[in-house]
Amino acid sequence: MVKITFPDGSVREYEQGITGLQIAESISPALARNVVSCGVNGVTTELNRPINEDATIALYKFEDEEGKHTFWHSSAHLLAEALKELYPGIQFGFGPAIENGFFYDVQTADGTPISENDFPKIEKKMLELARKDSPIVRRNVAKDEAVKEFKADGQTYKVEHIVEDLEDGTISTYSQGNFTDLCRGPHLVSTGAIKAVKLTSVAGAFWRGDAKSDQLTRIYGITFPKKKMLDEYLLMLEEAKKRDHRKIGKEMELFMFSDRVGKGLPIWLPKGTQVRLRLQEVLRKLQRPYAYQEVITPGIGGKNLYITSGHYAHYGKDAFQPIQTPEEDEEYMLKPMNCPHHCEIFANKPRSYKDLPLRIAEFGTVFRYEKSGELHGLTRVRTFTQDDAHLFVRPEQVKKEFEDVIDIIQKVFTTFGFENYEAQISLRDPADKEKYIGSDHVWEESENAIKEACKEKGLKARVEIGEAAFYGPKLDFMVKDAIGRRWQLGTIQVDYNLPNRFKLEYTAEDNSKQTPVMIHRAPFGSLERFTAVLIEHTAGHFPLWLTPDQVAILPISEKYNDYADEVKKFLESKNVRVFVDDRNEKIGRKIRDNELKRIPYMVIVGEQEKNEGLVSMRVQGGGEQATMPMADFAKRINDEVAEQMKNLD
């Protein structure tokens, strides 16, 4: 018998060799119909894999992240199976599950790229194969056998991958119908669970991501266990197009890009700069009770700074290459992160235990190289500004400081209307310790500090093994926007390693020299990404306190421009952000244009308003309309702003 422990802590005994599917059946037939994979001792695996020893188990439905990954991983194989039938001799690269669906990199026998025009026949073939409900069978194979098998199938890229990347004893394949793929899994038990298919786009992709290698065709798709889910997803995509921050940012004149300036280098326009500065003001206000000290550090640093920190070894390929100066052996790097500079600030003078915690904050602009094909508006750029801070603390202060940062992040989310969010604790992968720096003891200590802080704050957080930074574990906040998409925003990281690498120390109460613990935190993540997410979450309808222009004054004709200017001056004296649209256009056109710019309030002025000293107010979106004295309108604006910002006090 084996003891199986469930997520709620309950324990049941089963016969040795029990599978996840059989466990689900023992609970309820409905559950068994809906599970797609299971987690055994924290590792996601197939439902038909036997369990031969005591274990913890989690049963994953499609709605779970792990379930989606399994479902879409198998769907990538289904796509490949369909392509193999439709395009004899086709070559396969890699085909993983991704956050929303999957892709497969392929090359047809004659080199003709597959286009979106081919999607209907591929989708039809995928559904035809899915309906066969073919079992998906895992097999462990020796390296020489795998090479022989894929060579016989004419799969050049797969053979290269086996020879160059895989070790004997670690290789497995999955087969369904007449298709076999090289894969670690996990997968569905059979293809029949896939009921709805949509191929979404096609792009070019280099083999192994190397621009010098062959260019393949990357086909993206998504699948669901119910057609209704696909329909809902397609509606969400249409809504996402309307909310695209690149489109709205252009309409609202927030930011721009220029090929002459360079790819992935955003330029903040006057209105966007106003938004950015207000974001900074909010965070400064939230930080004020916690005694943060703001600093400014250079946008470059000596190469040795990043060698000392360990960033050069780990991030060298993702950074811009070192800058050579006329002086021999002098090399600089564009700053890829702020932490090494802040370590130098700590080391600038002797520190005592009485000085800690030392909280150093910076809106620090950093530079990282992203491949051209991965750049996307403000979400993937080559320069961005982090709302960064580094807290240098004594070990016994870690948990309290961590909790205070959680408070700040939660206040940020409340302020911006992100009510739906979850936390993720990212830990080291104990099976691959070479990726990380620091001792086992240090990692255990820091991981426990994060878990305890979350528990004390009542913050439910899921645990992800292997997602930690190379220098320490972290707590990430995943926000769901208005249409249900997940975004990673705020982050907190515990770091026992960087202070050691910089030989930072403070004098303890007993006069001994001790190494401080470092906490990295960024409630927004970056101003660029946060702005992009906020635009898409609100569809550009920012909270009134944040929006660059709160009021547009629209004179009915040119003869009321003077009165419009009078209203403008009065409202500005009451701290209302306002402008006059004095174009020689009809009032209907002015209203439509300012609706497009997402101006929250429009004030229409004509003869009656001028004669009586009034304004005719119109709420954005064709809502409430009313006529009132200027002073009453100004009070309404300021009261609304005060209500929105009350949680910051």
Give the model confidence (pLDDT) of 91-125 as tens digits: 999 999 998 899 999 999 888 889 999 999 999 99
Look at the block and give the residue holding tokens 């660059």: 548
CA atoms of 227 and 447, how far apart (whole Å)? 42
Catalytic residue, candidates 64, 181, 388, 481: 388
Q: Residue 568: what pLDDT?
A: 94
561-573 vs 630-644: helix crossing angle, rounded to 10: 40
Look at the block and give the residue holding tokens 């497969």: 104
Q: Residue 625: what pLDDT?
A: 85
Q: Give 512-577 as a DSSP string.
A: -EEPPEEEEEESSS-HHHHHHHHHHHHTT---TTT-S-SEEEEESSGGGHHHHHHHHHHHHHTT--
Task: Decide if 589 is catalytic.
Answer: no
CA atoms of 501 and 339, how far apart (whole Å)? 12
Across residues 346-375, what is the average pLDDT?
93
Burial 59-76 (b: 16+ CB within 10 A, else e): bbbbebebbbbbbbbbbb
Q: In what order do the strands lie in the sheet with 323-324?
A: 300-302, 331-334, 323-324
What are the C-alpha distances in Å from 20 to residues 15, 270, 489?
Answer: 12, 57, 34
Look at the block and give the residue holding tokens 């005994």: 13
| pLDDT digit string, tens, across residues 578-618 | 999 989 888 889 989 898 889 999 999 998 888 888 999 89
CA atoms of 403 and 453, how far apart (whole Å)? 6
Q: Is the pLDDT of residue 431 over 80?
A: no
Other beta carbons within 10 Å of 104 = 25
- Can you read off the two tokens belonging to residue 605? 């002025």
Q: Is the pLDDT of residue 471 over 80?
A: no
Burial 475-494 (b: 16+ CB within 10 A, else e): bbbbbebebebebebbbbbb
- Range of weakest confidence among 331-335, 432-436, 546-550, 560-564: 432-436
Q: Is the pLDDT of residue 359 over 90?
A: yes
595 contacts: CB under 8 Å, gap ≥ 6:
620, 621, 622
CA angle 432, 341, 301 (to 5 degrees): 95
The mean pLDDT of the chain is 90
Asked if the domains at 2-61 and 551-645 fall in one CATH topology, the answer is: no
User: Which CATH number applies to 252-537: 3.90.1150.10, 3.90.1330.10, 3.30.930.10, 3.40.50.10440?
Assistant: 3.30.930.10
- Can you read off the two tokens belonging to residue 337? 């992160």
Give the start-end residues of each E strand in 195-310: 196-206, 215-224, 255-256, 267-268, 293-294, 300-302
The burial class, CB within 10 Å (0-12 / 13-18 / 19+), for 169 is: exposed
Catalytic residue, candidates 368, 399, 537, 598: 368
Q: Which CATH architecture has domain 2-61?
A: Roll (3.10)
Catalytic residue, candidates 342, 520, 521, 610: 520
Q: Give 106-154 as a DSSP string.
A: EE-TT-PPP-GGGHHHHHHHHHHHHHTT-B-EEEE--HHHHHHHHHHTT
- Can you read off the two tokens belonging to residue 33? 């119909």
Task: Decide if 493 is catalytic.
Answer: no
CA atoms of 554 and 317, how far apart (whole Å)? 53
Across residues 360-366, what is the average pLDDT?
96
Q: 481 or 222, which is more confident?
A: 222
- Range of weakest confidence among 119-133, 446-460, 495-509: 446-460
The burial class, CB within 10 Å (0-12 / 13-18 / 19+), for 396 is: exposed
Task: Decide if 69 is catalytic.
Answer: no
Domain ranges of the chain: 2-61, 66-240, 252-537, 551-645
> Pick from 643, 550, 638: which is nearest to 600 by CA?
550
649 contacts: CB under 8 Å, gap ≥ 6:
none
Task: Decide if 161 is catalytic.
Answer: no
Task: Decide if 148 is catalytic.
Answer: no
Task: Decide if 386 is catalytic.
Answer: yes
Name the CATH superfamily housing domain 66-240. Threonyl-trna Synthetase; Chain A, domain 2 (3.30.980.10)
Task: Decide if 241 is catalytic.
Answer: no
- Can you read off the two tokens belonging to residue 98? 């991704």
Percent of the chain surpassing pLDDT 70? 99
69 is an annotated ligand-binding site residue = no
Q: Residue 45: what pLDDT?
A: 92
Q: Can you state the percent helix, strand and coil of the chain, rounding each to 5? A: 40, 25, 35
Q: Residue 316: what pLDDT?
A: 66
Helix (H, G, I), strand (E, B) or coil at 425: strand
Catalytic residue, candidates 218, 359, 390, 618: 390
- Can you read off the two tokens belonging to residue 37? 């994979």
Q: Residue 95: what pLDDT?
A: 92
What are the C-alpha distances in Å from 316 to residues 306, 322, 406, 471, 525?
Answer: 9, 9, 31, 15, 21
404 contacts: CB under 8 Å, gap ≥ 6:
290
Q: Residue 119: what pLDDT?
A: 96
Q: Give 579-621 as a DSSP string.
A: EE---SS-HHHHHHHHHHTT-SEEEEE-HHHHHHTEEEEEETT
| pLDDT digit string, tens, across residues 565-588 | 999 999 999 999 999 998 988 888
At 402, the pLDDT band (50, 70, 90 cuts) reads confident
245 is an annotated ligand-binding site residue = no
Name the CATH superfamily housing domain 551-645. Anticodon-binding domain (3.40.50.800)
- Please say whether the beta carbons of 198 and 221 come within 8 A: yes
Q: Residue 649: what pLDDT?
A: 63
CA atoms of 298 and 310, how far apart (whole Å)? 19
Across residues 227-246, what is the average pLDDT?
91
Across residues 149-178, what is the average pLDDT?
90
Helix (H, G, I), strand (E, B) or coil at 441: helix
